[in-house]
Amino acid sequence: MEYRCLGNVGLRVSALGFGAMRLPLAGDRPEDIDRDEARRMLRRAIDLGVTYVDTAYSYHGGQCESWLGWALGDSYRERVTLATKLPTWKVERRDDFDRLLDEQLTRLGTGIDLYLLHSLDETSWRDNVVAHDVLRSAERALADGRIGHLGFSFHDSFDVFMTILTATDLWEFCQIQYNYMDEDYQAGRRGLYAAAERGLGVVVMEPLRGGQLARPTPEVAAIWAAAQRDLEGCVPAGVLIPESPVEWALRWVWSHPEVSLLLSGMSTMEQVEQNARYAERSSVPLSAAELAVIDRVRDAYRAALPVPCTSCKYCLPCPNKVAIPDVFRLYNDAVAYGDVDGARRQYTWLPEGERGDACRQCGECEDRCPQHIAIVDCLQKAHAFLAAGDD
C-alpha cells in the first residue's frame, strides 16, 4: 500500500480508502448488512494497508455507523483514520448539530477523527448550515475533542464550491466526486486545484462513477483491448500498464498529486483484493499515451449512456415508491450494452408501483440528485423504452 499526506491535516493516509456505502447485503433492504462478511472485508482491507475508513449517518438505512463500530473493535480501530458525516439536511434548529453528533458517537462507540458536513449544495449550505450556525457548533466540537478535524462533502457547481471553500478557515479537507468522466463536473478539476492550493486534503468519491466505469460497453471494451495490445508492444520493460478498466479509472485519479486518497465502495472480497493491489502502484502516473486512451474511452461512454446516474440513491426514498436507480440502471444497460431483451425482462420483475410510469412528477428526486439529472423526463423515456416489449 502507498500513502499520501491528507493536505495540511498532519495525517498520512492510504491512497485507497474503504468506503462503507455499498457493503454486501444479507437481505433485500439497504439496512440488511451482511455483518460478518462486511467485517471480514473491512479487516482484510486494513490488513492490506488501508488506513482510511469512511461512513455516514445515513448509509445503509442508518445502520452503517453501528456496524462499523462493532466491525472495527478496539484492535482494528487504532489502525485507521475514521471519517463520518453529519446529515446536514436534518439540521433544522441550532441544537440539532450536537444532538446528531452525540447520536453518531454513540452509534460508533468510538471517537471521530474526521467529520464532514454531508453532501453540501447551495440549498443545504444556506438553509441548514448558515441558517443554524453549524460552523460555530462544529468549532465547539473541535475545541472539546468530540471531532478531530472538520471537512465537507460536496455536490453542486464550481461557484458554489468556492463559496463554501472560502467561507471559513475551519475546513481542513473536503470530499468531491472526481473521475475521468467528471473532470469538469461539479467541483471538478478546478475545485480540486483550489482546495489543494488552500492546503486542504482532497478525498475523491465515485472514482468509478458508482461502478459504471468498471462495466465497459462493447465499444469501450474494444478500446481497452486495443490499447492493451498497442501499449504492450511499445512501452519499456517494467512499465506498469493498467490491467483492467478499474485500474485505468483509479490510476487516472491517482495521477493527480492533489488527490490525497480515493474511496472505493467495495461490495465483495474480490474488489478489496483487487483495489488494494492497484493501490500498491498508485504513485505511477498514467503516461501521455495512456491518457489519450482515456480520452477515447470518455468519448465512447458519453455517446452510449442515456442517463448519467451513478446509483448513489440520494433520490430515494421516492414518495411514490419508484425504484429510480433500478429503472435507470436497466435503461442504461439496455442502451449501452445492447442487452435490450434482458433489461426488458428484468424490468417486468420490478413491482408495477416501482416502475417509471408510477412517477407523479413531484420533482423531489430532482432536488436531491447530485448529478442534477432531469429524473422525471428520464423516467418517462426509460419506461417507454423498457416497457415496449410488454404484451
pLDDT in tens, 28-51: 999 999 999 999 999 999 999 999
Does 268 share its domain with 133?
A: yes
Cβ atoms of 158 and 190 within 8 Å: the answer is yes
Identify each DSSP E strand in 121-278 by its residue range: 147-154, 171-177, 201-205, 261-264
Residue 295 lies in a domain: yes
386's CB contacts (< 8 A; 6+ apart) are: 327, 330, 331, 334, 343, 344, 347, 355, 356
Residue 314 lies in a domain: no
Query: How many domains does the chain divide into?
Result: 2
Residue 311 lies in a domain: no
Does 93 share its domain with 228?
A: yes
Residue 112 lies in a domain: yes
Does 18 share its domain with 146?
A: yes
Does 144 share its domain with 12?
A: yes
Residue 319 lies in a domain: no
Does 45 share its domain with 89?
A: yes
pLDDT in tens, 52-86: 999 999 999 999 999 999 999 999 999 999 999 99
Question: CA 51 to CA 49: how far, in whole Å?
Answer: 6
pLDDT band at 241 (very low <50, low <70, confident <90, very high): confident
Does 128 share its domain with 275?
A: yes
Q: Which pLDDT score, from 0 to 100, does residue 391 have?
A: 44
Q: Provide the 3-class DSSP secondary structure of residue 42.
A: helix
* Residue 251 CB neighbour total at 10 angstroms: 23
Residue 229 lies in a domain: yes
Does 107 share its domain with 211?
A: yes
Does 26 share its domain with 64?
A: yes
Length of the chain: 391
Residue 209 lies in a domain: yes
Record the pTM. 0.84
Cell reading at 111: 471517537
Task: Show the domain range for 348.
Answer: 324-389
Does 294 share its domain with 360?
A: no
Question: CA 137 to CA 153: how far, in whole Å?
Answer: 18
Does 174 share its domain with 245?
A: yes
Does 295 share its domain with 331?
A: no
Does 122 share its domain with 185?
A: yes
